């Protein structure tokens, strides 16, 4: 037995998993040491999600072995995994929206009262103690999870995983929707002192380097190698992930046409915390929205697509004032508005249907024959649009919930484009996807705009706004605080504006 095997808290040896002819994992091996934060890196589709599901008890491996503290480990389900000290904060959140914060934290076994039945009072008290322990005392245990923001649901998912993880904690893209990453980093560092092994999955190499000592890289279902992060450059890691050197940066965006027609015009809009917001998006233009969590960006997008009520203001589409009552009616206004939602699991994909069905959903009635849509027709119709977002055709036959998060996001973007709408509202379109998938999404957005489409997008990543947006609007406190165009958009300027300082606007307009 090697030194690493003898000191490993978790040993994964030659684990394999296939779905029919598709090999998801092929002889993957990793060791995790007690108290180590170990990164798992790879492109979307590399096998990371499958390995997480095997470790979590969601699916069973076809081959290989796993052990924890020297004992054989092969969980039957999530509950069995938790009983052995393994818990996961999933990227696609597993909370039940119709239950309360307390009930989600306590499931599957509620604290009992004097008669041995589940006690609401004891459940609330136990949940409140957990919330206080994980610096979430501001959460009301009785609040239904469905009304929480995605960021708050992410924090709740993470806290629940921490409560069950004595041996192995798996954090799958934990900061993808998180407003306060320092909150998570504090918890991770504290958990390390308890000798819990932590498997950390993220596409953000900056945070990986700040937390992790080693990283294992997967490519095409194989473990390519494990490296000490102190001795590996970002370029080295990228080459291991994709098998080639890093792509060149995306070319600078084309100049705006200030005389182009206005595709979307917003005047004095108020909704939720949003107050008196006015701006426009021209034909062929990509406009970015920058904001820290809770500054009104969610209210803006939901109001524009008709999912939230507006208190005042006007919205015009292609020069015609419109009252938008929902995503369906929005497609019929002017040349149409389509929306890519924030949470692909609960608001986007139709799990259980094929990827092709998900892509062609907006035009299903058009491709039906005698009320029936044949799978072959779905696939042939979806194929061209799938190519525009670099979605491999073989994935069209898969059920969409079998795809990686990045490929699901490509499919949803293809569906939005399939609507035929000429104005797209994209909310954090690259959340939780790898660098290669990001480039594919950027190229699809740029192509759409170059062909005369208009795009309004929000991003939680400043480099994305700098490289993709032709104009960038900063929201602060529910209002437009500043606006920047083209070369005036840079990270330092945006950071300053995001916290309410516009002295470095470099030609931008402070509101």
Distance between CA 103 and CA 123 in Å, rounded? 7
Average pLDDT, the chain: 87
Q: What is the DSSP letter of 361?
A: G
Q: What is the DSSP letter of 248?
A: P
pLDDT tens digit sequence for 38-81:
999 987 778 898 999 999 999 999 999 999 999 999 999 999 99
Strands 337-340 vs 423-427: parallel, antiparallel or unpaired: parallel
- Residue 9 confidence (pLDDT): 87
Distance between CA 296 and CA 139 in Å, rounded? 20
In 3D, which of 213, 296, 271, 325 has the Cα closest to residue 480? Answer: 296
Q: Per the confidence metrics, is the pTM higher than 0.75? A: no
pLDDT level of residue 176 (50, 70, 90 thresholds): confident
Task: For each of the domains in the chain, give its residue range(s) and CATH number, in order of start.
Answer: 3-98+144-242 (3.40.50.300), 260-336+422-511 (3.40.50.300), 343-420 (no CATH)
Residue 458 near residue 428, CB atoms below 8 Å: yes
Rounded mean pLDDT, 343-351: 81
Helix axes 120-133, 150-164, angle to 10 degrees: 90
In 3D, which of 494, 440, 485, 484 has the Cα closest to residue 463? Answer: 494
pLDDT level of residue 330 (50, 70, 90 thresholds): confident
Helix/strand/coil percent split, the chain, to 5: 35, 25, 35
pLDDT level of residue 244 (50, 70, 90 thresholds): low
Determine what percent of the chain is predicted with pLDDT higher than 90.
52
Rounded mean pLDDT, 8-26: 87
- Residue 254 confidence (pLDDT): 54
- Residue 293 confidence (pLDDT): 79
Distances (CA, A) of 328 to 222, 305, 324, 336: 43, 9, 9, 10
- Residue 3 confidence (pLDDT): 37
Q: Which two tokens stand for residue 185?
A: 């980093």
């Amino acid at each position: 037995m090697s030194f690493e095997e003898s000191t490993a808290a978790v040993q994964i040896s030659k684990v394999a998993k296939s779905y029919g002819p598709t090999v998801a994992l092929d002889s993957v091996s990793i060791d995790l040491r007690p108290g180590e934060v170990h990164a798992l890196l790879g492109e979307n589709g590399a096998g990371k999600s499958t390995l997480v599901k095997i470790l979590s008890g969601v699916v069973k491996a076809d081959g290989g072995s796993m052990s924890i503290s020297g004992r054989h480990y092969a969980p039957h389900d999530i509950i069995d995994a938790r009983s052995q000290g393994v818990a996961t904060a999933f990227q696609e959140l597993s909370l039940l929206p119709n239950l309360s914060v307390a009930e989600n934290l306590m499931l599957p076994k509620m604290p009992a009262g004097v008669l041995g039945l589940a006690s609401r009072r004891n459940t609330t008290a136990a949940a409140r103690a957990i919330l206080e322990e994980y610096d979430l005392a501001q959460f009301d245990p009785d609040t239904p999870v469905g009304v929480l923001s995605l960021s708050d649901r992410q924090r709740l998912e993470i806290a629940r995983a921490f409560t069950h993880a004595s041996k192995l904690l798996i954090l799958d893209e934990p900061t993808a929707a998180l407003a306060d990453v320092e909150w998570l980093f504090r918890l991770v560092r504290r958990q390390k002192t308890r000798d819990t092994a932590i498997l950390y999955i993220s596409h953000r190499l900056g945070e990986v380097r700040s937390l992790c000592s080693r990283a294992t890289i997967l490519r095409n279902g194989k473990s390519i190698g494990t490296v000490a992060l102190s001795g590996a450059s970002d370029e080295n890691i990228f080459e291991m992930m994709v098998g080639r050197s890093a792509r060149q940066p995306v070319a600078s965006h084309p100049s705006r046409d200030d005389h182009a027609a206005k595709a979307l015009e917003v005047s004095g809009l108020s909704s939720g915390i949003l107050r008196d917001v006015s701006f426009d998006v021209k034909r062929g233009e990509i406009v970015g929205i920058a904001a820290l969590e809770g500054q009104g960006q969610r209210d803006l997008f939901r109001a524009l697509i008709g999912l939230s009520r507006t208190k005042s203001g006007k919205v015009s589409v292609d020069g015609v004032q419109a009252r938008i009552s929902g995503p369906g009616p929005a497609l019929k206004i002017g040349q149409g508005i389509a929306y890519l939602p924030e949470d692909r699991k609960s608001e986007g994909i139709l799990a259980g249907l094929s990827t092709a069905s998900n892509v062609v959903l907006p035009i299903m009635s058009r491709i039906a024959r005698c009320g029936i849509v044949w799978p072959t027709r779905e696939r042939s119709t979806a194929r061209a649009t799938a190519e525009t977002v670099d979605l491999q055709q073989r994935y069209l036959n898969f059920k969409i919930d079998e795809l990686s998060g990045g490929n699901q996001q490509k499919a949803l973007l293809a569906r939005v484009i399939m609507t035929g709408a000429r104005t797209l509202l994209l909310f954090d379109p690259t959340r939780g996807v790898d660098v290669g998938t990001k480039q594919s999404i950027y190229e699809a957005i740029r192509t759409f705009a170059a062909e005369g489409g208009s795009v309004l997008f929000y991003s939680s990543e400043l480099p994305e706004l700098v490289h993709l947006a032709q104009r960038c609007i900063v929201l602060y406190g529910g209002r437009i605080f500043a606006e920047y165009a083209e070369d005036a958009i840079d990270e330092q300027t945006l950071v300053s504006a995001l916290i309410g300082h516009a002295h470095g606007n470099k030609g931008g307009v402070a509101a």
